[in-house]
């Protein structure tokens, strides 16, 4: 069985401060990991993904995530957040041609 745990349901951060959104997974087989972002009243957009190779993956808008097999984690980070980063962030595991999502972390940026 596979599952995804997002440890923080809400994370408030001051604008231009760094942020880390935590994600841990459990799986008995090789994993493929994703971060999706959901802006208010919208669907999900892919932020970044880890399939294989380099354990550090980056998105075009400054986010990065590091796959850590020993700690079964795939935490999302950004060194300096902007108001426009306000959204819900979901970590997901791909297995059996479907995605299993965590419960999400609401990122709130404080001006």
Using CB under 8 A, list all residues that contact another protein.
Answer: 4, 6, 32, 36, 42-46, 49, 51, 90, 92, 94, 96-104
CB of 33 to another protein, least distance (A): 10
CB of 109 to another protein, least distance (A): 20
For residues 96 and 111, which CB has a smaller minimum distance to another protein in the complex? 96
Distance CA 22, CA 20 (A): 6
Residues ≥6 apart with Cβ < 8 Å to 25:
2, 3, 4, 5, 31, 33, 72, 73, 74, 91, 93
Residue 106 is classified by DSSP as: E
For residues 36 and 63, which CB has a smaller minimum distance to another protein in the complex? 36
């Amino acid at each position: 069985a596979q599952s995804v745990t997002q440890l923080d349901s809400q994370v408030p951060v001051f604008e231009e401060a760094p942020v880390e959104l935590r994600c841990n997974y459990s799986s008995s087989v090789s994993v493929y990991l994703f971060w999706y972002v959901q802006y208010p009243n919208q669907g999900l957009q892919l932020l970044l993904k880890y399939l294989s190779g380099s354990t550090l993956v980056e998105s075009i808008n400054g986010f990065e995530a590091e796959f850590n097999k020993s700690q079964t984690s795939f935490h999302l980070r950004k060194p300096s957040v902007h108001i426009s980063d306000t959204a819900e962030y979901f970590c997901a595991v791909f297995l059996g041609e479907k995605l299993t999502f965590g419960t999400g972390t609401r990122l709130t940026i404080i001006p």
